[in-house]
């Protein structure tokens, strides 16, 4: 039996296979509200045969958006906009739907990527950003506002309220975004965090705020539903002070608190990063987290080939594999993987006639009569 197509349990959630669709920012929301694009985008991915679909980084407050087009979940309007999207998915797919909750920190107030992606000054329609310290992401940008106690409390509360809204929407699980140079990662990395209070300096102090957010969200979200965390295991900046050794300590603290998975990525906190790209280049990070802490791990990063994904799971390097660009390029990747590995996937009856004759059991023992 294929390892990639064996079931996996996350609290009360039973996944039929180990393929996850990564959260992918679409920059297509309107004042934080899901649009018709989300209906199409998430709807077609829900028919992919993957076991879990994670909704893109969803800002917990308006100032926490990367761009003006980023999805949000901070008020009744943003919550209501997701209702029809989720209803359509539930009507036609049994895929588990999770959501990544996020705050962009000092990387907020940016242009859409296809418009350059650079910081937008307040005078040109941007907004004030917030971070652990008043240090800009790169030279020439406006410095963010260093968060005080009231600001920290506001953001913790925003994460909790977003988690409660996600539960009302029927979301199956949550992932907290502590990677890619956004707010929670900014607290972890000395590149962005140069505070001298209880939230800066030592590794224990730098972990404090992300762990507070996790504890608060875990307490606010139903106990039978999973909560995971995406981390950057390395800043890819020599001497940065945040690498796999510190990431393993953070992962261990999350495990103590009952984290259900750690989605292991890297980079994003500095434009000085030097990333050694290649197929599966982040798999060793996930493997290290798995081996040292024993926590459930998701591996990401240029995983495109079926045998590559199968080997990652079969060898125990990670429990699940998550795909982003590869899934956009081939939205039926799980179908094709199942066909190659002699497995089956779930599909709506409208598509039961799709596989070639030699793959007639791809969707299990299906029947499609005509007259």
Nearest in space to 323 (alpha carbons), one of 274, 265, 268, 272: 265
Residue with tokens 């299906």: 366
Distances (CA, A) of 275 to 8, 9, 265, 268, 272: 31, 33, 12, 10, 10
SS3 127: coil
Identify the CA nearest to 41 among candidates 249, 369, 263, 324: 324
Catalytic, 351? Answer: no
Angle at 66 between CA 60 and CA 70, to 5 degrees: 70
Q: Which of 27, 182, 199, 351 is catalytic?
A: 182
Residue 85 · residue 45 · CB < 8 Å: no
CB burial of residue 137 (10 Å; 0-12, 13-18, 19+): buried
- Alpha-carbon distance of 335 to 73, in angstroms, equals 32
> What's the rounded Cα separation, in Å, for the pair 184 and 88?
32
Q: Which residue has the tokens 């798999």?
A: 283
Closest of 331, 339, 276 to residue 45, by C-alpha: 331
CB 261 within 8 A of CB 319: yes
Place of tokens 């926590």: 295
Query: How many residues appear in the chain?
Result: 371
- Which sequence positions are flagged as catalytic? 182
């Amino acid at each position: 039996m294929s390892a990639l197509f064996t079931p996996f349990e996350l609290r009360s959630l039973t996944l039929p296979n180990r393929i996850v669709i990564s959260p992918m920012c679409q920059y297509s929301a309107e004042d934080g509200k899901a649009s018709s694009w989300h209906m199409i985008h998430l709807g077609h991915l829900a028919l992919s045969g993957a076991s879990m679909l994670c909704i893109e980084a969803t800002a917990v407050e308006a100032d926490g958006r990367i761009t003006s087009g980023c999805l949000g979940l901070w008020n009744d309007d943003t919550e209501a906009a997701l209702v029809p999207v989720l209803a359509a998915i539930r009507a036609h797919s049994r895929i588990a739907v999770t959501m990544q909750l996020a705050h962009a920190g000092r990387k907020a107030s940016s242009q859409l990527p296809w418009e350059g992606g650079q910081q937008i000054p307040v005078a040109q329609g941007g907004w004030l950003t917030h971070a652990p310290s008043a240090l800009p992401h790169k030279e020439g940008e406006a410095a963010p506002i260093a968060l005080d106690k009231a600001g920290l409390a506001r953001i913790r509360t925003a994460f909790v309220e977003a988690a409660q809204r996600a539960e009302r929407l029927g979301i199956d699980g949550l992932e907290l975004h502590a990677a890619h140079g956004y707010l929670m990662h900014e607290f972890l990395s000395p590149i962005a965090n140069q505070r001298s209070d209880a939230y800066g300096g030592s590794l224990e102090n730098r972990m404090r705020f992300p762990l507070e957010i996790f504890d608060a969200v875990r307490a606010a979200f139903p106990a039978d539903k999973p909560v995971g965390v995406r981390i950057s295991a390395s800043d890819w900046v020599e001497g940065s002070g945040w690498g796999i050794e510190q990431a393993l300590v953070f992962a261990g603290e999350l495990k103590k608190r009952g984290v259900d998975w750690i989605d292991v990525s890297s980079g994003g906190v500095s434009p000085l990063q030097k990333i050694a790209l290649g197929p599966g280049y982040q798999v060793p990070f996930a493997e290290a987290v798995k081996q040292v802490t024993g926590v459930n791990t998701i591996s990401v990063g240029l995983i495109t080939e079926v045998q590559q994904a199968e080997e990652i799971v079969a060898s125990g390097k990670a429990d699940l594999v998550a795909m982003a660009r590869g899934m956009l390029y081939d939205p039926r990747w799980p179908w094709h993987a199942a066909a190659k590995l002699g497995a089956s996937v779930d599909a709506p009856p409208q598509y039961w006639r799709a596989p070639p004759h030699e793959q007639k059991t791809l969707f299990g023992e299906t029947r499609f009569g005509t007259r």
